[in-house]
């Protein structure tokens, strides 16, 4: 019996009731067609679930209810709480099947953080886009948040944190990310403070952060930090939980080992599955 027919037979046994199975013995081809329709439906449901996020959603308890974080790809992640959706740096990976945004936070102008076509896909009429002035110059309608500014949007409080290079750049005297151009963000919901660093090195503004419960920290050369540098930064501001993200090509075990014994929980997740 061909492989496909054995598969169809197993589906008949698993998903069809006894009277249909009895009927199918004399009408095998019709039963096979029915099982194929069921298989198609199951496949479609599976694909829909797979499209919903690159990584498994993770929940955090807040005073305002549960907040869910889903890794998307590279610098992209999605927050959901109180019936609202926040997309951060929706630029890479597939956003098919993901819910539309109530808020979009953009950290920088580079293509792995800012993608107008992707934003158009997840945007609705009421979506609020938040970013630095450099982003607003290329994305009409952006609500500008400068380094050091804080704004409240309903239950969400967004604070813009500087993100920049100290030494690394494409040529002598140049930096990949100049101070003041981009934003990291501290996002507060229900008392839970989450820090999304953006593209940055181990800068004083990061080390000075307080009361961060969840942090997302980059580490990829030549644009941001080494794992050791990222670990040193994390040790300085001591979040309860840290996720390496924006880490393509980086040995995350080095980062994890550097934080062993620090009391900081390191969560390694796949940001490149989509």
Helix (H, G, I), strand (E, B) or coil at 120: helix
Query: Do residues 251 and 228 touch, judged by C-beta distance below 8 A?
Result: no
Q: What is the mean pLDDT of the chain?
A: 84
- Using CA atoms, how far residue 258 sits from 134, 150, 194, 228, 249, in Å, is 35, 32, 22, 7, 18
Per-residue pLDDT reduced to its tens digit, 46-79: 333 333 345 789 999 999 999 999 999 998 999 9
Strand pairing of 65-71 and 77-81?
antiparallel
Sheet holding 58-62, edge to edge: 58-62, 65-71, 77-81, 84-88, 103-105, 128-131, 143-144
pLDDT score at 274: 58
Sign of the Cα torsion 81, 117, 199, 266 reads positive
Structural domains of the chain sorted by starting position, each given as residue range(s) with its CATH number in brackets: 3-50 (no CATH), 53-266 (3.60.15.10)
Confidence at 19, pLDDT banded by 50, 70, 90: very low
Per-residue pLDDT reduced to its tens digit, 88-137: 999 999 999 999 999 999 999 998 889 999 999 999 999 999 999 999 99
């Amino acid at each position: 019996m061909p492989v496909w027919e054995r598969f169809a037979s197993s589906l008949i046994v698993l998903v069809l009731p006894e009277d249909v199975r009895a009927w199918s013995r004399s009408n095998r081809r019709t039963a096979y067609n029915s099982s194929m329709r069921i298989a198609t439906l199951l496949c479609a449901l599976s694909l829909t679930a797979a499209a919903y996020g690159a990584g498994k959603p993770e929940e955090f308890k807040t005073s305002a209810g549960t907040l869910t974080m889903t890794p998307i790809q590279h610098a992209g992640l999605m927050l959901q709480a109180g019936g609202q959706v926040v997309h951060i740096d929706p630029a890479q990976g597939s956003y098919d099947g993901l819910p539309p945004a109530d808020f979009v936070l953009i950290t920088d102008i580079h293509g792995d953080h800012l993608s107008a076509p992707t934003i158009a896909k997840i945007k609705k009429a009421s979506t609020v886009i938040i970013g630095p002035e450099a982003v607003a110059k290329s994305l009409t309608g952006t609500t500008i948040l400068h380094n050091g500014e804080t704004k409240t949007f309903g239950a969400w409080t967004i604070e813009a944190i500087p993100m920049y290079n100290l030494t690394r750049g494409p040529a002598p005297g140049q930096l990949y990310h100049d101070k003041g151009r981009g934003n990291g963000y501290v996002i507060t919901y229900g008392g839970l403070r989450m820090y999304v660093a953006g593209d940055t090195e181990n800068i004083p503004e990061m080390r000075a952060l307080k009361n961060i419960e969840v942090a997302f920290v980059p580490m990829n050369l030549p644009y941001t930090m080494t794992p050791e540098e990222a670990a040193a930064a994390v040790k300085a501001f001591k979040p309860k939980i840290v996720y390496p993200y924006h880490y393509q090509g980086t040995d995350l075990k080095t980062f994890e080992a550097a934080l062993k014994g620090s009391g900081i929980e390191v969560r390694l997740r796949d940001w490149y599955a989509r």
